[in-house]
């Protein structure tokens, strides 16, 4: 509701109320104004009329005053009154807080469900692996411990799904970490066993590649010193000896024992050998020595070629030696 305060007037007044309708279907009063009619005098130039009712062509015009009526809109004060049953500002604030709390609770519930699904998926995968492909990589005591923990964890997950609001998110994460700590040891042994042969082959290939480069007679590596090539060969031999020793020790261990040499160790050895070989054989070829400086020729004097041309006419005019000179008449 909107209460408008109007100024006193003798005649009924026309009121305009401007409202805005928002996305939620609520009205907002933006402006209230009243229409008023105002008379104004305006001077208009009008021609004079001659006797007989005809206008004279050259007659002078006299100003005419006319009254004009103009409608103006005047803003008036208004006050919004709350309708019966409409929530107050304090109630709207409480409703907003309740809405935010419900959104936060829904988000937390979704996160807990995601963690519970992750826990349940890991639980089923570990149960299948410990009784299947990873059975030989765990001792009997470890298998018994894992199976008991899997059984208790399955019961805990079933109870949590009945009423998830009673379970904290941190409790779900802690239960998942507990399972991963027990099953992670067995999983790492299986992963090391699965990747050991490939890592061994890659390291053998790196040793062979370094030896071939050290024994190469290629002209492109002729500038590499023999001492540097010998260092590459020694490092390749040391790496091969280390690998043979480690694999001999590893082959005598049962699969449920932690490995002596890991896949990461062999990768690090391979990277170190290839990096050193690349460093040695990527040395640039030395630049050829500059030739010795030759002796500078002695400077020659400049000969003026025009001197003979200037003396030639004088020689032509001169008389031959031994001939009489012509005598001039007195």
Considering the domain boundaries, does residue 109 fall inside one? yes
Residue 189 predicted with pLDDT over 50: yes
Q: What is the pLDDT of residues 49-91, one digit of tens each?
A: 555 555 544 455 667 777 777 888 888 888 877 667 777 888 8
Domain containing 255 — which CATH number? 1.20.1270
Instruction: Report the percent of the chain where pLDDT is more than 70.
Output: 80
Is the model more confident about 98 or about 326?
Answer: 98
Question: Domain check: are 110 and 132 in the same one?
Answer: yes
CA distances from 171 to 69, 160, 255 (A): 81, 10, 34
Alpha-carbon gap, residue 147 to 194, rounded angstroms: 24
Residue with tokens 């030395």, as numbered in its chain = 286
Q: Where a domain ends, among 241, 258, 281?
A: 281
Q: Minimal CA–CA distance to 129: which of 176, 189, 175?
A: 189
Do both 122 and 173 map to the same domain? Answer: yes
Query: Stretch 289-306: mean pLDDT, rounded?
Result: 57
Is 307 within a domain?
no
**How high is the pLDDT of residue 322?**
43
Q: Tell me the CB-side half-sphere exposure of residue 212, using CA atoms within 13 A.
A: 7
State the burial class of residue 75 (Cβ atoms within 10 Å of its Cβ: 0-12, 13-18, 19+).
exposed
Task: Look at 22-26, 33-37, 47-51, 194-198 and tell me which has the smallest mean pLDDT.
Answer: 47-51
Residue 310 lies in a domain: no
Whether the CB-CB separation of 122 and 146 falls below 8 Å is answered with no
196-246 confidence digits (pLDDT tens): 999 999 999 999 999 999 998 888 888 888 999 999 999 999 999 999 999
Its domain, for residue 23, covers: 2-44+63-80
Q: What is the pLDDT of residue 10?
A: 65
Sign of the torsion formed by the C-alpha atoms of 210, 216, 220 and 226: positive
Residues 95 and 179 in one domain: yes
* Bridge partner residues of 243 (DSSP): none
Residue 108 maps to which CATH number?
1.20.1270.10
Q: State the pTM of this model.
A: 0.58
Total domains in the chain come to 3
Q: Is 54 a member of any domain?
A: no
Average pLDDT of the residues in 96-102: 94
> Residue 300: is its pLDDT beyond 70?
no
- The answer to whether residue 317 scores a pLDDT higher than 80 is no
């Amino acid at each position: 509701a909107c209460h408008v305060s109007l100024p006193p007037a003798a005649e009924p007044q026309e009121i305009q109320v401007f409202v805005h309708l928002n996305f939620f279907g609520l009205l907002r009063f933006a402006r209230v104004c009243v229409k008023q009619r105002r008379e104004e005098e305006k001077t208009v130039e009008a021609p004079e009329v001659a006797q007989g009712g005809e206008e004279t062509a050259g007659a002078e015009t006299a100003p005419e005053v006319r009254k004009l009526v103009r409608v103006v809109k005047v803003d008036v004060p208004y006050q919004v009154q709350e309708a019966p049953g409409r929530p107050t500002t304090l109630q709207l604030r409480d409703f907003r807080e309740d809405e935010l709390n419900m959104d936060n609770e829904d988000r937390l519930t979704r996160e807990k469900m995601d963690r519970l699904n992750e826990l349940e998926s890991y639980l089923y995968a570990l149960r299948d692996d410990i009784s299947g492909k990873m059975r030989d990589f765990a001792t009997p005591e470890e298998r018994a411990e894992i199976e008991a923990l899997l059984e208790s964890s399955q019961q805990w997950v079933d109870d949590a799904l009945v009423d998830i609001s009673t379970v904290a998110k941190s409790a779900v994460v802690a239960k998942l970490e507990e399972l991963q700590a027990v099953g992670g040891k067995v999983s790492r042994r299986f992963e090391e066993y699965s990747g050991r042969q490939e890592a061994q082959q890659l390291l053998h290939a790196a040793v062979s590649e370094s030896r071939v480069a050290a024994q190469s007679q290629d002209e492109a590596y002729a500038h590499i010193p023999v001492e540097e090539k010998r260092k590459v060969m020694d490092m390749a031999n040391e790496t091969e000896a280390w690998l043979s020793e480690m694999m001999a020790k590893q082959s005598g261990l049962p699969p449920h024992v932690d490995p002596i040499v890991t896949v990461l160790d062999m990768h690090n050895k391979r990277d170190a050998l290839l990096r050193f070989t690349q460093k040695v054989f990527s040395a640039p070829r030395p630049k050829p020595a500059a030739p010795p400086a030759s002796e500078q020729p002695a400077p020659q004097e400049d000969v003026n070629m025009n001197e003979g041309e200037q003396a030639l006419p004088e020689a032509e005019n001169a008389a031959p030696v031994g001939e009489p000179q012509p005598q001039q008449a007195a």
